[in-house]
Structure formats: C-alpha cells, structure tokens
Amino acid sequence: MFEQPRDEESGVYVPPPDDQQRDPDATDDPLPEYQDTTVFPVWLRESSKSFRWGWMPLPFRKAGWAVVRWVKGPVPPRTLLLKPLFPRLQELPAHYLNRLFPKRWHKIVLLLLLYVSWFLPWFLVMFHARTSGYIEGYGRPQTLSCTSTYWSSSRNNCGLNGNECRPFSSSHLAFRCPAECDATILLEPHVVGNHTYNYQGLVVGGPRESSSKAIYRADSFICQAAIHAGVVSKINGGCGVVKLEGASHSYPAVKQNGIQSVGFPSTFPKSFSFVKLSSSQATCPQDPRWPLLGVTVAAIVLLWLFSSSPAVLFFSTFFILISHVALVSDPPPTMYLADLVSIFLSRLLPASFIVYVLYRFCARPLLQPLSAPIYQLTKTFLYLPLAFIGALNNYTFAKWIPLQRLTPHDIQQQPGAKLALCLVVPIVLSIILGQAWHIRCGGLMPHYLKVYCSMGLTLIVLLSLPDLRLRIHHYILAILLMHGTAFPTRPSLIYQGLLLGLFVNGVGRWGFASIIETPAALGESPVGHGWWGAAYPNITNASVLISLPGNDNGWTYRGNGNITFNLWEHERMQDLGVDGVSVLVNDVERWKGYLDEDKSGEFTWHRHGHRGLELIHGPTIESADPDMVGVSDIAEEDEEPEDLFFRFAYLKGAESGNYGGAGVWLKDGTWFSPPPPKD
C-alpha cells in the first residue's frame, strides 16, 4: 500500500476499501483482505468521464477527502472491546455455578426460583402496606398521593361556588401518606390571593399564635400539610385522620417541621385540620419503598453475577425495575391498588415492545461480546448502579438538578434552571463526544451519522410545527441516545445502564407522554394568543364602581359596601370569539355571565365582613342595574371587613380560560386594579 502524498498533483491512487461495518461480535483478528496496489496519477484519475467532482475547486476536494477519511476512521478499525481487570476473580461466580449446577435445566430452575424469591416477598409487603392498617373510630385509611388535595388547583374545576368540591365541613377521612412528600413541588402556577406560587410545595395556613390547632386551606397538599402539622413522618410517611372544618377567615404563614407554608388574609369556604390520635388508636404500616428496594437490588445483583445471557439480563432487569418504580418507589397518583395495577399493565405492554427493539439494536451488541465469565463483575458494577440511579430519578436527578421540564418556559421560570442547564449541557456534550470518538475508532461513524442525522431531521420537523412545543421527556431521551452505547466499552456499560433506568422511570411514572404538546398543556400562554383562553378581561379603574357607607350612618367599618364591575368589552370579546366572563372572589368562582343573557354585564359584590364568603348565608352577588347599586343592609350586625381578591377570565361555552392577575379591594375600601392583559 502506498501512502497518498500531501501534493495531490503527484499523488497516487489507492482504491478505497469496501465501506462495510465491522461486526462487534467478530474476532479480534481482522481477516486478510485483498488490496489492489495499482496506482494512477491524479490527472489521469480525474480526467475520467466517471469522475463526479471535477466542478469542485481543488482545495475543497482536498478538504472533503480529508473529512471522509476521518469519518471512516483508522484502517484497520480498532476493536471496541474492553479488557477485563482480574479476569480470574471475575469468572469465579460462573465457575462455581457451572460446577454445582452444570446442566442447562438446572440453571433454568434456579432462574425461576430467583424470580419467585423476588416476587413473593416484594408483592406481599407492597400489598400489605397499601391495603392494611386500621384507625379506631375511623376505619381503614385510604392511600393518598403526595399531591392529593380537597380543592382542585386546575382552572376552576370546583365549579360555581365550589359545588363540585363539597362537602365543606362535618366530614372525616382516614388517610395514608407515602414517604418523601415534603419534596413535592408545583409544576404549574398556583394563585393564592394576589400571589402566584410555582416550583415549591403547597401548604396554605397552619397554627395561629393564639391556638395550637392548625387550620389549612382546602387547596393545600394534604400529605405536605400533615408533615407540616407533625402528623406523619417525611421519611416514612404514615397515617392520620383529616377533618373538614368549613370556612376559615385567615391562614397564617408558618414554618415548622421543615416546611414553609404560605398565608392568606381572607376567608376561604373550605378548610381542614388533623385529628389528634393516641398511639394505641391507629395501626399503620410504614411506606415499604426502602425495604423493598433492598429486595429488588439483591435479586438483580444476583442475576447479573451468575447469568451471562444478554436477553435474560436485559429483560429481567427491565421488568423488575419498572415493577418497582410503577408500584412502589414512584407510582402514579391513585388511591386504590387495583387502579394502580391497571395503569401499570397499560404501560407495560407498549414498553415491552420498545424494550425489545432497544435490546436488538442497543443491548445485544453491547452485552453479547461481554458474555464470557471474565466480564461478569465488570458488567455488574458498571451497568447496575447507574440503572438504579436512573430508575430512582425522583430521588436523584429530580432533587439534584432543578430542571423539571426541558421547555423554554420552565428554563426561564424555574429558579436555578439556567445554571443547571449550563452545567448539564457541557457534561452531556463531553459524553457524546467521547462516545463519538469510540465510534470513529471502531469504523462505525458512517452508520451512526445516518441514524442520528435522521433523528435530528425528525426533531427539527417537530420543532417547526406551529402552535406546538417539542418536549423531550426522559424516556424519549433514553430511546434517542441508547443506540450510541451499542458497543462493548466501559463507558457504554455505564451510559446504557443510566438510559435504561431513565426509560423505566419515565414510562413507569408518567406513561408515554407526547413528544409535542400544546402551550396550554405546559402552562404557557401561546404567542399571539393562538388560544382564546390566553386572553383575559381588561379591568381598569373606569370599569369599577365602589359604593361605601357615609360617616353618619352608624356603621363601624367604612370598608363594608358594594363594588360593581362593568365587564363587557363587546368589540374585544367579539374578536376573541368568547361568550362571557367568569369571576373568582378569593379564588372561588362566584359569577358567570354570558353576552346573550346579560345585556348590562355588571357584577356586584356586597361586602359585609365575611358574610357570603362562607357559602352558608343568603346570596351576596347579583347582576344589577346601575340604579340598584347601593350599600347593602342585609346584615343585622356590622362586621369587620376583609381584603377581597377578584380575578377574571373569559368563557367559551362552559369552559373558562386563564384567569388574569388579582385585583384587590382592601378592607378600608381602597381598590387596586389587576395588571392589564399583554395583548
């Protein structure tokens, strides 16, 4: 073979070798290949009619050939196979297994015994923890999720006057909370009065200074409130009894037991507290996730130490891990075990087909060359730890990296997300470049360029779709990147284990969420108001009329009176195609008005202390004519007024859009208008 000189004019031609991929399962010694040593001058080669690149200038041709030679890698390509450390030590487990159980059917029986030994204690403990327990006087506790609440935080799901979330009082619930609920955070903005909270827990209220009894607003996370009140443990969870208290007139902000609650200075119609129980009154098994994790780890480690079959290792690890994630360590929120099993099985079937494809094209090329006993410990201690780190994502990356969703909105809004992205991106790029170098050295770069260019083109097309957002869930990230680990090196063992764990966690916890989602589904407002509900009414001082009592009428509190809103914006509402307006008072829907029924479009609230806010007295709202607006005298006694918070949204049929910011009517009668819409 002649090396091509740098001067192309005096160079010689060497026919390139056949562009064939090297089989990673092939032997280390490359087979001898025939090479034609015939050389031709460059001028003769390029004068041929079949030469296609004559139109390109010589410097560009040189650069192009250099890039092609670099992409194809060294000749011959290097063998991508790790060298084991202490091979005699690593083959000891397989040696003793073959010595004690030499026949194949012996090993099959042992494998089945391992499955049974894992499943029986694992399932019985999990079943006992979710279905047993008893609280004297209140019955068997119901299992709650960390985000369970009495009042829906979505757009007005409790309906007019909160009727869809009744009862408000005189009700008890025995409950069981899982472990680690103190780390649960909001993933969508949640408004309490005139404050918006996101990416933090949700506990509204707590004990007042004059009382040890803690009262919480109904939209608080019940399990977080139970930790705040000291009823259950943040580490192990626990059981308790929650009591509905009806309306409460203020909710203090209190920090205790490691949780900071938020305050609300006015009335909310539904509240709850926790019943104090004696130690002998309740029997409640602790959350079993950590003991069962030990059972799962032991089963998988034993499997990897003694089995060498790539199919057995990969599929067994997948099934055991996804069962543990979906049913124990990070289950989807549901109260009943039957529903949980149903959700798990609905996700397991499609996940199994995907895992089969991942095995054929990713796991088998990695694990098959490492099936010899001398790689047994290397596979176990490189693959499994990262697989568990990925599968337990809710305890690892979700806590370590403050980046819940990889969307522009979350990157801009979540505290610490930009810094986390600046740290994560260089690490991921360095991993990709390291794998790309191994791929080139193995002569596999042309194949991988075809695969990942196709993936990149698909993502670009999805990214360009109008009114949709590309969202790379971590199960999708695992599918995209796992093919880059399909060769037997130590980094590939580490990265593929991590990606398998992320796939398991993503599917087991969240299911097969779409790769593209609407801005509304992600809590964003579409640019240009592509969705009608992104706009909201423009409430200005000119559209508000306040009527307060005089100083000579005998009323103690001048802040009691009436406030009237003129809500119809006919031209703007016609352009948006909306039908009416919804009004929240103290975060509860109190009025719905439609253009075709209410010609005046006026909403009046009579304030007399907290009367009407409890939803147990007569009506205090009306759609009134201007000449009817006056000071209400429906109360027999003059009560101290409270600050009131008003929010407005458009209606299209029965559906409400996004509510705007809060306008505040202070107890002294002063009015602060809400922020204007951005259109």
Report the distance separating Cα 578 and Cα 655, nearest Å: 10
Report the distance separating Cα 210 and Cα 246, nearest Å: 20
Same domain, 267 and 325: no
Same domain, 437 and 389: yes
Same domain, 542 and 634: yes
200 contacts 187 by C-beta, under 8 angstroms: no
Top-confidence residue, 183 or 628: 183
Cβ count near 86 (within 10 Å):
11
Share of the chain above pLDDT 70, in %: 85
Q: What is the full DSSP assignment across 210-257?
A: T-S-EEEETTS-HHHHHHHHTSSBTTTBEEEEEEEEEEES-B---EET
Tally of CA atoms within 13 A in the half-sphere of 383 that contains its CB: 27
Cβ count near 198 (within 10 Å):
18
Report the distance separating Cα 590 and Cα 161, nearest Å: 5
Amino acid at residue number 143: T
Residue 103, helix vs strand vs coil: coil
- In this structure, is residue 476 part of a structural domain? yes
What is the pLDDT at residue 66? Answer: 82
CATH code at position 270: 2.170.130.20
31-35, 220-224, 335-339, 517-521, range with the lowest pLDDT: 31-35
The burial class, CB within 10 Å (0-12 / 13-18 / 19+), for 264 is buried
Average pLDDT of the residues in 412-430: 89
- Give the contacts of 311 (CB within 8 A, at least 6 positions apart): 359, 364
- In this structure, is residue 569 part of a structural domain? yes
49-100 per-position pLDDT tens digit: 666 666 677 777 778 778 888 888 888 989 889 999 999 999 999 999 989 9
Report the distance separating Cα 477 and Cα 484, nearest Å: 12
Cβ count near 179 (within 10 Å):
21
Same domain, 220 and 351: no
State which of 492, 516, 540 marks the end of a domain: 516
Same domain, 263 and 348: no
34-43, 280-289, 571-580, range with the lowest pLDDT: 34-43
Report the distance separating Cα 564 and Cα 313, nearest Å: 70
pLDDT at residue 503 is higher than 90: yes
Tokens of 270: 């539904």
Instruction: Supply the DSSP symbol for 329.
Output: I
Of 225, 208, 211, which Cα lies nearest the Cα of 273?
225
- In this structure, is residue 120 part of a structural domain? no
Of 625, 521, 539, which Cα lies nearest the Cα of 581?
539
205-209, 532-536, 561-565, range with the lowest pLDDT: 532-536
595 contacts 568 by C-beta, under 8 angstroms: yes
Report the distance separating Cα 42 and Cα 64, nearest Å: 16
State which of 516, 541, 561 marks the end of a domain: 516
Same domain, 354 and 248: no
Our count of domains for the chain comes to 4
Tokens of 238: 């626990």
Cβ count near 20 (within 10 Å):
8
Return the percent helix, strand and coil in the chain, to nearest 5: 40, 15, 45
Report the distance separating Cα 259 and Cα 220, nearest Å: 12
What 3 state SS string does 189-202 have? CEEECCEEECCCCC
Residues paired with residue 282 on neighbouring β-strands, in sequence order: 135
Same domain, 548 and 491: no
- In this structure, is residue 289 part of a structural domain? no
Confidence class for position 358, pLDDT limits 50, 70, 90: very high
Share of the chain above pLDDT 90, in %: 57
Tokens of 305: 């130490």
- In this structure, is residue 111 part of a structural domain? no
Phi-psi region of 403 (alpha: psi -120 to 50; beta: other; left: phi over 0): beta
The CA distances from residue 496 to 99, 364, 426, 445, 490, in Å, are 32, 11, 19, 19, 10
397-401, 582-586, 622-626, range with the lowest pLDDT: 622-626
Residues paired with residue 622 on neighbouring β-strands, in sequence order: 604
298 phi and psi, to 5 degrees? -60, -45
Element (H, E) at 169: strand 169-177
The CA distances from residue 604 to 383, 454, 632, in Å, are 66, 60, 11
Report the distance separating Cα 1 and Cα 68, nearest Å: 19
56 contacts 64 by C-beta, under 8 angstroms: yes
Report the distance separating Cα 336 and Cα 334, nearest Å: 6
- In this structure, is residue 504 part of a structural domain? yes
340 phi and psi, to 5 degrees? -65, -45
- In this structure, is residue 400 part of a structural domain? yes
Same domain, 432 and 377: yes
Same domain, 274 and 312: no
Average pLDDT of the residues in 116-120: 96
Same domain, 332 and 472: yes
Phi-psi region of 185 (alpha: psi -120 to 50; beta: other; left: phi over 0): beta
Tokens of 665: 């009517």
624 contacts 562 by C-beta, under 8 angstroms: no
Average pLDDT of the residues in 257-267: 94
Domain span at residue 55 reads 8-72
Same domain, 160 and 274: yes
Mean pLDDT: which of 204-213, 528-537, 609-618 is highest?
204-213
Report the distance separating Cα 83 and Cα 489, nearest Å: 9
Which residue is listed with tokens 């920090």?
A: 255
- In this structure, is residue 86 part of a structural domain? no
State which of 464, 486, 516 marks the end of a domain: 516
What is the pLDDT at residue 615? Answer: 61
Same domain, 276 and 332: no
pLDDT at residue 258 is higher than 60: yes
